[in-house]
Structure 1
Amino acid sequence: MDRHPAEAMARPDLIRLDDGFVCLRFESMKVVSALAAVRHLLDTGVVRPGDTLLDSSSGIYAHALALACHRYGMRCHIIGSSTVDHALRTQLAVLGAHLEQMEPSDDLKLDQNRRVARVRALLAEHPEYHWMRQYHDDVHYLGYRTVADRIRRELGTERLTLVGGIGSGASTGGLARALRERAPDLRLVGVQPFGSVTFGSAHVRDPEIIIAGIGSSIPFANVDHGLYDTIHWLAFEAALAGSVDLLRSRAVFAGLSTGAAYLAARWERDRAPDRTVVFVAADTGHRYVDSVFARHEEAVRVADLAPREVAGPQELVLPWSRMRWNRRPVGPGGSGFDGRVGEGASRAGAAP
């Protein structure tokens, strides 16, 4: 029996949508990583009950960290993006988390840079705070091992393809690392928005939006580029079509990044029907009712969408591009990965 609701939320559903086509559905995926990270930091003495845990978030991680702090008796301080909505602000307040929200901005990079600057200022004022560094400390990989074990038990690992948003790198990265311990031929397909620096699409602007949660305008050290076999870049209009079709045809109500992962997974499955394709649904669709699902009549048919195959990021075009990455270890921006796990590098003075 669970001792806290967050523990139940950390267990995803495995839903077989068709033969060889499976949805790994989370209520809120980052609860998995936040719970395991906080537990590890407590067990190793990096933090103590009652300490303040600090981080920046566009929404989902803020909720996850607030739940983990509630579970383990910690204080929570969030520097939130302007995208944090009223429903989440209310939940954070009731859970006892302190939220500082950035002023509205049309520039995602400016929003992220301002949040990092505020985190640094707070650490200078309060060196006793612990910066969780969800984008840079791979303590956030740890929680996904349990999920990988469940995939292994229920689906096996023979001829398996995993598809999901890249984001901070911890979710698909953590799942792939754990699964490849017994299945080195696991194929990992990462999903990115246009405008993200992580795999070199910063020069391509999506006129609608950069999809929060799967890309970034600043480098993330937790992304291990060498894990990924294939990358798909999808624009808002393609992700919207995927989200709407997934609800209409499969009754799965999930967020915008899931719509993008669903499109990529359909494409990969059609080209390798002998493989089992699992795609990650990171959160529910409630945050996207107005911005995505209310626009369902605008959605193009997913059957009419196909990616452009590209040899490099310089060839990327909207609304959908695909590239064989072939596990190259370093991204176009030169960002790397140092492999450290929870070494307490997230206090004042650590690199962002």
Structure 2
Amino acid sequence: MREDVDHHIADALSRPALVRLDSHTLCLRFETMKVASALEAVRFLLERGTIAHGDTLVDSSSGIYAHALALACHRYGLHCHIVASTTVDATLRTQLEILGATVEPMPPSASLKLDQSRRVARVREILRDHPRHHWMRQYHDDVHYRGYRPIADLVREHVDCQHLTVVGGVGTGASTGALTTFLRETHPSVELAGVQPFDSVTFGSEHVHDPEIIIAGIGSSIPFGNVDHTLYDTVHWFGFDAALAGSVALLREHAIFAGLSAGAAYLAARWEQKLDPDRHVVVLAPDTGHRYVDAAYSRHAEAPDPADLAPLQISALADMDLPWSRMDWNRADAPMPAIAAAS
């Protein structure tokens, strides 16, 4: 008799729930999206002999990847060390510690930029002192793309890919970028709309400051080596207020409780679909909304009405502004600050 069961929770978490929002919009709702990339990356590195059972894997994280890597290490009998952002809350830290990971929190920081730079510097110190540790390099190694191939196969089963746009947070590139890469193997016309926060160097929004930015994980103050900018057709930049509006709308209209990046992606997807009503849209919701309750969802009464929001359409990065900007990226190369610092 066939046994359709998972033998580790990480296997189950690597697959999204597929939720039909309307006839042209599908939401891929994950509890912890990066389990898909971490699990397959670790499996591949073990198979290739780069790492071995009992080794210690190390990386820095603002939360989602920390959980994913801890689960992958638990699944495959590896040790895990996380240099944790100030955005990692007590609930997640407790889970990580019980899973067997060692968690090294960064001290409070005046900015996410300083926090991120400190984390990467600390990882380098750890590797200097423990050369046998393996740095997973979630920000730079495209091994993290591999886990999204099964998700692309899943999307093909449920969506018309002939006229499709994927919408979601850019992050390290190993989510929207990876998913679209595999979808384009059979359907080159698939379009990709990336979501970014302001204050991020990845797509050139570092000159626009959002004082309330807490959209963790989808932008960066440092260059990401595994973001392929030439995959993206469109980029949407969101501030806190617009992302909150999208998150509250996603929960109110569809009962999907997800993070701020999912709310931003939801608004972006609605806009892309409005521009082309015949287009099918896949929205990525990479995590739940629990860690955003105090800082965001508790302020739901203040959230703007999405009907009152529209992106500022720009043709040059210098023209972007809060609360929401949109640009036709047209699969162009990375902006110079990202390239120069990355090299």
TM-score, normalisation: structure 2: 0.97
Structure-2 separation of matches of 1:170 and 1:140: 6
- 1:276 paired to 2:280: yes
Residue 11 (str. 1) matches residue 34 (str. 2): no
Paired amino acid for 1:123: L
1:61 aligned to 2:65? yes
- The one-letter amino acid paired with 1:307 is P
How far residue 210 of structure 1 moved from its aligned partner, in angstroms, is 4.6
SS in 1 for 2:175: helix
SS of residue matched to 1:100: strand
Residue of 158, 172, 175 corresponding to 1:171: 175
1:54 touches 1:130 (CA, 8 Å); kept in 2?
yes
Name the CA distance, whole Å, in 2 between partners of 1:334 and 1:112: 15
> Matches of residues 30-49 of structure 1 in structure 2 within 5 Å?
30-49=34-53
* SS of residue paired to 2:337: coil
Alpha-carbon contact 2:203-2:334 (below 8 Å) kept: no
Matching of residue 162 in structure 1 with residue 166 in structure 2? yes
Choose 318-327 or 15-24, whichever is displaced more.
Answer: 15-24
1:21 alignment partner in structure 2: 25
Q: Does 2:214 correspond to 1:202?
A: no
Q: Which runs of 5+ in 1 are unaligned?
A: 337-350
String of CA shifts for 1:70-117, please: whole Å, max 9, x gaps: 000000000001111000110011000000000111211111111111
Q: Percent identity?
A: 64
**In 2, are the aligned partners of 1:170 and 1:223 still within 8 Å (CA)?**
yes
Q: What number of residue pairs does the alignment pair up?
A: 338
Residue in 2 aligned with 1:342?
none
Contact residue 194 and residue 210 of structure 1 kept, 8 A? no
For 1:123, the equivalent position in structure 2 comes to 127
* Residue 142 of structure 2 is aligned to residue 142 of structure 1: no
In structure 2, C-alpha distance between the alignment counterparts of 1:74 and 1:96, rounded to whole Å: 9
Rounded to whole Å, the distance in 1 between the matches of 2:275 and 2:160 is: 20
User: Shift of residue 197 of structure 1?
Assistant: 0.2
Give yes or no for contact 2:201–2:338 (8 Å, CA) kept in 1.
Answer: no
Rounded to whole Å, the distance in 1 between the matches of 2:245 and 2:323 is 11
Residues 302-324 of structure 1 show CA distances to partners (whole Å, capped at 9, x for unaligned) of 00000000011100110000000
Q: Is the 8 A contact 2:259 2:292 kept in 1?
A: yes
Runs ≥4 residues deviating over 6 A: none
Distance in 2 of aligned mates of 1:234 and 1:32? 26
Q: Distance in 2 between matches of 1:297 and 1:145?
A: 39
Aligned to 1:233: 237
Q: Which whole-Å CA distance do the structure 2 matches of 1:116 and 1:281 have between them?
A: 26
Deviation at 1:166? 0.2
Question: What letter matches 1:11 in structure 2?
Answer: R
SS in 1 for 2:19: strand
1:253 aligns with 257
* Kept in 1: contact 2:229–2:334 (CA 8 A): yes
- Structure 2 residue aligned with 1:312: 316
TM (normalized to structure 1)? 0.94
Q: Displacement of 1:19 after TM fit?
A: 1.2
Matched, 1:301 2:305: yes
Q: Is 1:242 matched with 2:266?
A: no
1:194/1:210 CA distance change after superposition, 3 Å: farther
| Residues 150-195 of structure 1: per-residue CA shift (max 9 Å, x gap) | 0011213110110000011110111010000111110100000000
Any idea what the Cα deviations from partners look like across 1:105-145, whole Å, max 9, x if unmatched? 12111111111111111101100000000000000000000
- Structure 1 distance, partners of 2:160, 2:139, is 30
Report if aligned partners of 1:227, 1:329 keep a CA contact under 8 Å in 2.
Answer: no
Tell me, yes or no, if the aligned pair for 2:202 and 2:334 is still in contact at 8 Å: no
Deviations along 1:196-232, one digit per CA (max 9) or x if unpaired, are: 0000010100021151111000000110000000000
How far apart, in 1, do the equivalents of 2:232 and 2:301 lie?
34
Q: Secondary structure at the match of 1:28?
A: coil
Contact 1:199 1:333 in 2 (8 A): no
**2:270 matched residue in structure 1:** 266
Task: Determine if contact 1:36/1:142 at 8 Å carries over to the other structure.
Answer: yes
Aligned-partner Cα distance in 1 for 2:79–2:121: 21
Give the equivalent residue in structure 1 for 2:296. 292
Contact 1:226 1:330 in 2 (8 A): yes
Helix, strand or coil: the match of 2:209? Answer: coil
